Structure 1
Amino acid sequence: MSSKDLSLEELKDVQKQLSKLATSSDSEAILSLFAKLKSGLSAPTEDVIRQSKIGVAVGKMRSHSDKKVADQAKSLVKDWKAIVDKQRAQSSTTSSKASSSTASPAPTSSKTDSAANGNGTASASPSSTPSAATKPASSTTKIDFEILNDKVRNACLKLLYQSLEIGKETHGWNDSQIFDAAVSVEAAILSNQGKGSVTADYRNKVRSLSLNIKDKNNPDLRARVVEGDIAADKLVTMTNEELASDKRKREIEELQMQNLFKAKGAAAQEAETDAFQCGRCKQRKTRYYQMQTRSADEPMTTFVTCTNCNHKWKFC
């Protein structure tokens, strides 16, 4: 990163702002933060992206309802991934060359090899034979799933691990990090749903949660679990609605709002006013009505419709 780039603390601040705007319709604020990232994060490193969690925050915006926001989020993630992949390739090449030059002896001529062998056939030079030192080290850590002294629990642990490891290369997760998350989740299910034993509720929760975690339409959930944003004890008590992707949550919220608008009583009279500004088109031509949607001692809910673009919103 150059001296002009955003510091780690500044990136964390931007990440917090984006997280707060994850379900917001304030596209201008989101695009402003994207512009700040584009100019202030020209050559991010993998460590910086991981520590600041800015990649997760921007990644969530790829499913935003505003196409411009979604497109710019996809562009940022794509650019950062290309930069990180290039850095990894360069690092791998450098390490391989350093290892080869250190471990491989200088090549000898065919005549010298032939003399050493005592026959007329030249042997292959050391430089032409792959050695253990020149082979790239495997990035996969050997994971032991037989640690729980119970065949069913070990199988469940493996299932959770396999669900969590999807997309690990993109996020730069290592196997130990994923395994630790899987162990925590399995233990939380055993305690919460199984009450300390391998019960039918325990098995059902492992299966249903693993399906939610590996859902290709909800990669954010997987990232939040592996990176510790959602504690295992909280994860195993979350409802299907809470586990849903941000896009699905927005769809549910919009559907509920539409139902509320359609369910207004005959007595609910709409009035025109310029007191409200539309968050989408910024016009002040609106209609509104009020309805008691909560207990009697709570304030009424105001439902507003923009007469210019038909955008709907509510507030209490």
Structure 2
Amino acid sequence: MSSKDLSLDELKDLQKQLSKFATSSDSEAILSIFSKLKSGLSKPTEDVIRQSKIGVAVGKMRSHSDKKVADQAKSLVKDWKAIVDKQRAQSSSNSSKPSSSTASPAPAGTKTEGGAIGNGASEVSLSSTPSTTAATPASSTTKIDFEILNDKVRNACLKLLYQALEIGKENHGWNDSQIFDAAVAVEAAILANQGKGSVTADYRNKVRSLSLNIKDKNNPDLRARVVEREISADVLVTMTNEELASDKRKREIEELHMQNLFKAKGAAAQEAETDAFQCGRCKQRKTRYYQMQTRSADEPMTTFVTCTNCNHKWKFC
């Protein structure tokens, strides 16, 4: 990077800011960060993007509800990918040149370095540049050895976790070693936490249930957070199914909980009609309400309101 470019620490700080804005509607703040990145990261390198994880944060903004934010994110991604691809092509070209006219050709099995930015963004996935040499393309996968644990069951469980974590790796730019390291950490945490150091029924059940949660097509964020170590393996293996669920599923659970609360009001809870409340959906003031003690006795009662016009329900304390 040039002397005018942002430092690695500055990039990490911007990455954290963008992550906080992932579900925010504050478009101006996001665009301000994009402006800093555009002027302060004119010639990013693969190492910088990997170490700062700035690519991951920008990549997530491509699906932002604000079209301007989404377009700016796509533009940054496109520019960075072009720059990094060019660097990779130059590096490949330089490494393929023979040192002398009598130099021996590289063995047929020789591989160039990994085909994607390790902890970098899904948007900066480095598809291999066409090569005129006989070397293996940069996108070739690394051979993974699953027979490292000296236990047949644990090796099988490790492979199961790896297969769950590798889903969608091309879209994120993850390399095989990065995924494998995450799988090894998760398997070890399950062995220590659920298995208490041994291959038990609890160990097997946790591996099975966790792999199902990880490979859920409706929950890609969980996979990303595990592979990119946003969730540590020790924390992951203690999370409940509700905590592992996707945001969509969490909303469904909350809505179901709300419905159950309304249905469980009991015979003693009498509804009364009032125009004191305005429906947030249809803006009418034709409502019914009742109150229930849902918390400790020294806390105020919870009021449950139903709009008689559109049947919208809400509660407040």
- Pair 1:226 & 2:223 matched: no
CA–CA separation in structure 2 for the residues paired with 1:34 and 1:306: 37
- Pair 1:15 & 2:16 matched: no
Matches within 5 A, 1:127-146: 130-132=133-135, 135-137=136-138, 140-146=141-147
CA–CA separation in structure 2 for the residues paired with 1:138 and 1:58: 20
Matches within 5 A, 1:247-266: 247-264=248-265, 266=269
Q: Name the structure 2 match of 1:91.
A: 87
* Counterpart amino acid of residue 269 in structure 1: A
Q: Name the structure 1 match of 2:272.
A: 269
Matches within 5 A, 1:165-204: 165-204=166-205
Judging by fraction of residues, say which structure has more helix.
1
Report the alpha carbon displacement of residue 286 of structure 1 after superposing the two structures with TM: 8.9
Q: Secondary structure at the match of 1:94?
A: helix
Change (3 A) 1:139 1:262: same
CA–CA separation in structure 1 for the residues paired with 2:28 and 2:312: 22
* Counterpart amino acid of residue 216 in structure 2: D
* 8 Å CA contact 1:56, 1:220 repeated in 2: no
Change (3 A) 1:69 1:268: farther
| Paired-residue identity, % | 62
* 8 Å CA contact 1:156, 1:186 repeated in 2: yes
* 8 Å CA contact 1:161, 1:178 repeated in 2: yes
* 8 Å CA contact 1:5, 1:42 repeated in 2: no
Moved more, 204-213 or 305-314: 305-314
CA–CA separation in structure 2 for the residues paired with 1:227 and 1:94: 28
Calculate the aligned-residue CA RMSD, in Å.
4.3
* 8 Å CA contact 1:268, 1:291 repeated in 2: no
Q: Name the structure 1 match of 2:155.
A: 154
Q: Secondary structure at the match of 1:238?
A: coil
CA–CA separation in structure 2 for the residues paired with 1:209 and 1:252: 19
Q: Secondary structure at the match of 2:235?
A: helix
Q: Name the structure 2 match of 1:241.
A: 242
Moved more, 252-261 or 188-197: 252-261
Moved more, 164-173 or 80-89: 80-89
Structure 1's unaligned 5+ residue stretches are 63-67, 107-128
* 8 Å CA contact 1:15, 1:52 repeated in 2: no
Relative to the length of structure 1, the TM-score reads: 0.68
Deviations 1:112-164 (A, max 9, x none): xxxxxxxxxxxxxxxxx8454xx544553333222211111011111111211
Change (3 A) 1:235 1:270: farther
Deviations 1:208-237 (A, max 9, x none): 211111111111101111122222222122
* 8 Å CA contact 1:145, 1:157 repeated in 2: yes
CA–CA separation in structure 2 for the residues paired with 1:227 and 1:312: 39
Report the alpha carbon displacement of residue 17 of structure 1 after superposing the two structures with TM: 4.4
Pick the structure with greater CA Rg: 1
Change (3 A) 1:4 1:92: closer
CA–CA separation in structure 2 for the residues paired with 1:270 and 1:37: 50
Change (3 A) 1:39 1:57: closer
CA–CA separation in structure 2 for the residues paired with 1:270 and 1:34: 45
CA–CA separation in structure 2 for the residues paired with 1:302 and 1:57: 42
Change (3 A) 1:250 1:200: same
CA–CA separation in structure 1 for the residues paired with 2:273 and 2:5: 53
Structure 2's unaligned 5+ residue stretches are 103-131
Q: Name the structure 2 match of 1:55.
A: 56
Relative to the length of structure 2, the TM-score reads: 0.68
* Counterpart amino acid of residue 143 in structure 2: K
